[in-house]
Structure 1
Amino acid sequence: MIPYIRREKILEIIGQREIVYLPQLLEIFTDASESTLRRDLKILSTTGHITLLHGGAVKLKVGSTVDLPIQDKLTLNKTEKDAIARTAASFVSEGDVIYLDSSTTVLPMVHYLKGKKITIITSSARLLSLLDDENITCIVLGGEVVIQTGSIVGSITENLLSTMFFDKAFVGANGFSQLGGINTPDYREARKKQIVKQNSKAMYLLMDSSKAEVTTFCKVFELQECTIITDSDHELLGNFLHSIIVAKSDHEC
């Protein structure tokens, strides 16, 4: 398993159980050695995600959003994310006012929107640096910037969003499951997505299949409440095929 993915899974497990012991992680990650897991835990502790306790136990650090740094997430499933972003961009029409969040699956959409005369509203502090098309008008929302993810959050952001209306909105999430629906570990992100959904004519959720069966802290909305663009059919989505779009990679097109 790729180290970044393993660390993300470790955070999800700790988030569900509150306190986890190293032997428990060894039982779950059978392909990882004790030294490898200790190294993962040290990295997660250094980045401020967890607190190491005596006796080999770990717990989430108070205030942790259980989210990996954006630099790490950008390297995960790049091919799948690019295919999803390209497919999502095909639904944007001339003159649209669209919302793009800070998801690493949403950000690549910018490259496929070139040449379209549209307006982008975003809560991503990184998105503006990706734009180089004078046809696109970009409005970056104010608020608190989460350095780790590049996301802009808080009451200022929410108040601004509540006054705006979008033709289409494109957002990401940390997981989807029968129990947790579309979910995220950060209640501030959940609130933003809920406001955007309420103020959008069409809502698209962009997630690769690695997010399947993942349940984090906050349910944003139910699976059937938006159109999901993903890279493969998952059995969990079987009852919602009317709102599922499967993106194809370059070699499949």
Structure 2
Amino acid sequence: MDSATRQQRIVQRLRETERLEVADLALELDTSEVTVRRDLDALASAGALRRVHGGAVSLLLRGEELPFALREIESTPAKERIAQTVAGLLSDGEAVIVDSGTTGLAIARALVGRRLTVVPLSIPAAHVLSASASTTLKVPGGTSRFGEGSLVGPMAEASLRSLRVDTAIISCCGLSPTDGVTAYDDVEAATKRAAMSSARRTILVGEAAKFSRTALAVVCEVTDFDVLVTDPDAPADAVAQIRQAGVDVLGV
């Protein structure tokens, strides 16, 4: 088991219990206590836990968004497949909004080298795309959320309202046919809506884990999107319901 998988397992356990013991984790993960201590130290640096003698105490609040560094290692293969699929849906010459978040960052990486005009809604995505000579980069204004680098708020919304793009690629914190598309931050939800209103086509991206989560702020209904790109582990009943409502669902 690699370090990213172990740390994901530890984070899952932190959602279930307030304290974890090194010895118990070593048995559960079939690894050494030295390796578990290194993983706990890495997660402590990311803000997920506090190290105590013999183990760790959770710092994750129920329903709270995971730190960006932890989300970046969560469902990484699925995010990369989603990113490559989304890149394949875009034609050279398009103007595209790429949303913030770890999936948005994966998509930005997949677009490097493409002949596109890209409006990134995060500083990390802008940094990745700035190295591409063939990409025209349009960076909106806005407030950067600490720890996330996402660009949100009235300045970002005004910038987006002044544009008309071919495609908006929107990430989410949770999605379901009943609760819709949700985000942890209401200001970020408003920025996503502004991005969608500026686009002729909207693509929602979210790996299977997003179907089991509902965050605080409602962005919109899932049916407001033209395409949903997810992975094969997404719940079949929810996928069928979304398809029946007229959304093109791609499980990759």
Q: Is the counterpart of residue 188 in structure 1 residue 187 in structure 2? A: yes
Select 2:70's aligned residue among 65, 69, 72.
72
2:119 aligned partner: 121
- After TM superposition, give the deviation of residue 22 of structure 1 in Å: 5.8
- After TM superposition, give the deviation of residue 116 of structure 1 in Å: 2.7
**8 Å Cα contact 1:230/1:244 also seen in 2:** no
SS in structure 2 opposite 1:134? coil
- After TM superposition, give the deviation of residue 70 of structure 1 in Å: 1.6
Equivalents in 2 of 1:70, 1:22: separation in Å? 21
Kindly provide the amino acid, as one letter, of the partner of residue 97 in structure 1: A
From the superposition, tell whether residues 180 and 8 of structure 1 become closer, same or farther in structure 2 (CA, over 3 Å): farther
Superposed CA offset, 1:186-210 (max 9, x none): 0011101111111110111110001
2:239 aligned partner: 237
Equivalents in 2 of 1:194, 1:144: separation in Å? 16
2:53 aligned partner: none
SS in structure 2 opposite 1:121? strand
SS in structure 1 opposite 2:148? coil
- After TM superposition, give the deviation of residue 167 of structure 1 in Å: 0.4
1:246 aligned partner: 250
Select 1:98's aligned residue among 85, 96, 99.
96
- After TM superposition, give the deviation of residue 213 of structure 1 in Å: 2.7
Instruction: Tell me the TM-score normalised to structure 2 length.
Output: 0.73
SS in structure 1 opposite 2:163? coil
Q: Is the counterpart of residue 215 in structure 1 residue 214 in structure 2? A: yes
Number of equivalenced pairs: 218
- After TM superposition, give the deviation of residue 214 of structure 1 in Å: 1.2
- After TM superposition, give the deviation of residue 237 of structure 1 in Å: 2.0
SS in structure 1 opposite 2:101? coil
SS in structure 1 opposite 2:212? coil
Q: Is the counterpart of residue 162 in structure 1 residue 166 in structure 2? A: no
Runs of 5+ consecutive residues of structure 2 not aligned to the other structure: 20-27, 29-39, 50-56
1:85 aligned partner: 83
Kindly provide the amino acid, as one letter, of the partner of residue 148 in structure 2: T
Equivalents in 2 of 1:222, 1:109: separation in Å? 22
SS in structure 1 opposite 2:123? coil
Structure showing greater relative contact order (alpha-carbon pairs closer than 8 Å, 6 or more residues apart):
1
% identical aligned pairs: 22
- After TM superposition, give the deviation of residue 155 of structure 1 in Å: 1.4
Q: Is the counterpart of residue 224 in structure 1 residue 241 in structure 2? A: no
Equivalents in 2 of 1:163, 1:144: separation in Å? 17
Q: Which runs of 4+ in 1 moved over 3 A?
A: 1-11, 46-49, 58-61
Equivalents in 1 of 2:163, 2:78: separation in Å? 31
Instruction: Tell me the TM-score normalised to structure 1 length.
Output: 0.73
- After TM superposition, give the deviation of residue 73 of structure 1 in Å: 1.0
More displaced stretch, 89-98 vs 239-248: 239-248
- After TM superposition, give the deviation of residue 121 of structure 1 in Å: 0.6
